[in-house]
Amino acid sequence: MVHMIGTPVREGGIMGHCVGKDKNGKLNTLYMSFTQAGKPLAFVALNLDTREAITYRAPRDDGAWGTYAASDGCVYIGTYGTGSLYKFDPKKEKIEDLGTGIQSESYIWDFAEDDYGNLYGCTYGNGKLLKYNLKTGEKTDLGRFHEKLAYSRHVFKHKSGKIICSMGTSPLGIGIYDPVTDEKKFVPYPDTEATGFLRIFYDEEGNLYSEYADKLYRIDNDSFIPFEGKVTEKPRLVLEDGSKITKVASGSITLEKPDGTTENIEYTYDSAGAEIFMLHKGPDGKIYGSTALPLKMFSYDPKTGKMENLGVPCSAGGEIYSMVNVGERLFTAAYGHAIVSAYDPSKPWNFGFEEGNNPRQIHAFVSHGQNRPKQMCVASDGNIYIATTPCYGQVSGALCRLNPVTYEYKVWRGIVEDDALESVAAIPGTPYICAGSTYETGLGIYDGNYRDAYLLLFDVEKEEVVHRSQPVKGGKLIVDLHYYNGLMYGLVSGGRLFAYDYVKRETVTVKKLPVNNVLWPGLHITEKGVLYFAGDQTLYRMNLPEGDIQTVEKVPDWILGFVVDEEDNKLYGSVKSTLFCIDL
């Protein structure tokens, strides 16, 4: 039976924000777009004169990055999901649906306005530029800047009147559109090896600069001009009286007044809750998890029924991908920047970067080009091993090792050439771990081709791969791994299960499962040899070694993984923002 427990994190993630006018035309309101799990985005208007916050609901889509106050006094919202364009009129106090921006695009990332009454939105999907006429409502697809680039990430109006887009991920550069001539072009970044995204910003005089890896360029004459020295960035959130909003958080903002004094202002808003991304059983027997956008770590105590929003365990902004227990401590690894933190549940929560903080942020493997820490395990040498995928615009994931005592680390990047690692599991009592690969590269660079996923047998003492195989023909990625009774079992995309004999170094069985879309992570084998897997909104049980499969439960809208608590004979999963359990 499925038991819906509740929503542990009643917060939304702030995706976009801007300062705009209120219904009386005064520039005194902070507008914020909050993502909502399974609900249309929440659009919050915080009036800094009255301190009143009002929540409005969009017609559809979970969230929006693009949030822009235009010259017509309205705020425009660009969503992700359907790439829709919304218009909020403060005088009417409602959101108007202007339809899909460009049919081929799923995101509208950002907005800028030209001198002729046109609003521009940069997109994801094909890296296009949308033009919207503020008077007539006409939308124009201006097309792509570069045939290989999916990201048109930020957009600005240059002093020259041209529209500048930050393009990524590889090749890196800017897209330039001239509203007068209707011409557009792509200008590559001077460092042709650079990948990812540029940070582009205005100085206090309105000049436009790009920053990448501590290198500054001024953007002028359709080119990157090297710049030496320091630049003071123009603040973006400035009110009519000159006050500046210096920090925007869920439930509070920091306001710097013209006299230099600061004030922390709290506000409330309606939230359907944050989407639960992953779950894990901690060293204290509690169920821990992470939400996504915003990243919040939470706990659930099965004994008392108490759910607690613990807070943020690291400086990452996305979500925790994996957790692992080492003694009485719980280690987390999060996206972005593949950040690892250590948390002791028996001690008070006090996040920071120094010894004595709890959780304590330990290391960011972005230093080795890694971004998503997909899975972790503890090997026989006592070290933590992490399977990672690379940063935006890059290839080659890594196997990362972290000593949980000294925090020394080592990285084997390119261990599967240009591919990356999706899963990792230890073989108890041996010097071996197994790692499963994925064709995934850093977003924005995938070429459309894939290799069958590799299974690596890695010797932690020799520090080398001692055997490599492709256990399933046509299997794109090894979603999850679990060791049992001499065999390493692997769950593969497309709904297949293999068993690998590490002594014989061969795949002994491959079985087609009754699912096509397996859950991630989605494999657990109990001490008694009962294997659980899930996919297509259904939980299944398989008895080993017989291999007979039974349906346990169907859970509508279940798309992310689970954790099994063998002590209580329960499985925990999530649907959007709600935690549930199934009696096994």
pLDDT at residue 339 is higher than 90: yes
Task: Give the model's pLDDT for residue 120.
Answer: 99
pLDDT at 439: 86
Give the CB-side neighbour count of residue 196, counting CA atoms within 13 A: 17
406 within some domain: no
The DSSP string of 515-563 is -SSEEEEEEEE-TTSEEEEEETTEEEEEETTT--EEEEEE-TT--S--E
CA distance 361 to 111: 34
The two tokens of residue 539 are 């939980």
Give residue 392's pLDDT: 87
**Is 3 inside any structural domain?**
no
Q: How confident is the model at residue 450 (pLDDT cuts 50, 70, 90)?
A: confident
The total number of structural domains in the chain stands at 1
Q: What are the pLDDT digits (tens) for 345-373?
A: 999 999 999 999 999 999 999 999 999 99
Using CB atoms within 10 Å of the CB of residue 201, give its burial: 0 to 12 exposed, 13 to 18 middle, 19+ buried: middle
Condensed to tens digits (0 to 9), the pLDDT of residues 379-413 reads: 999 999 999 999 988 889 999 999 999 999 999 99
C-alpha 422/C-alpha 417 separation (Å) is 14
Domain that holds residue 581: 513-584
For 367, the 3-state DSSP assignment is helix
Position 56 in a domain: no
pLDDT value for 448: 63
Is residue 404 included in any domain, yes or no? no
Q: What is the pLDDT of residues 189-244, one digit of tens each?
A: 999 989 889 999 999 999 999 999 989 999 999 999 999 999 999 999 999 999 99
215-220 vs 432-438, strand pairing mode: unpaired
Q: List pLDDT tens digits, range 45-98.
A: 999 999 999 999 998 888 999 999 999 999 999 999 999 999 999 999 999 999
Of residues 52 and 317, more confidently modeled: 52
* Whether the Cβ atoms of residue 320 and residue 290 lie closer than 8 Å to each other: yes
Contact present, 110 and 119 (Cβ < 8 Å): no
Residue 472 lies in a domain: no
pLDDT value of residue 307? 98
- Whether 276 contacts 260, CB under 8 Å: no
The encoded tokens of residue 78 equal: 């660009």
Tell me the pLDDT band of 445, cut-offs 50, 70 and 90: low
pLDDT digits (tens, 9 = 90+) for 523-561: 999 999 999 999 999 999 999 988 899 999 999 999 999
- Cα distance from N-terminal residue to C-terminal residue, the chain: 8
SS3 368: helix
420 falls within a domain: no
- What's the pTM? 0.90
pLDDT bin (cut points 50, 70, 90) of residue 415 is very high
In three-state secondary structure terms, 252 is strand
Residue 176 is predicted with a pLDDT of 98
CA distance linking residue 421 with residue 387, whole number of Å: 5
Q: What is the pLDDT of residue 65?
A: 95
Residue 555 lies in a domain: yes
Answer yes or no: is 547 within a domain: yes
CATH code of the domain covering residue 557: 2.20.25.650
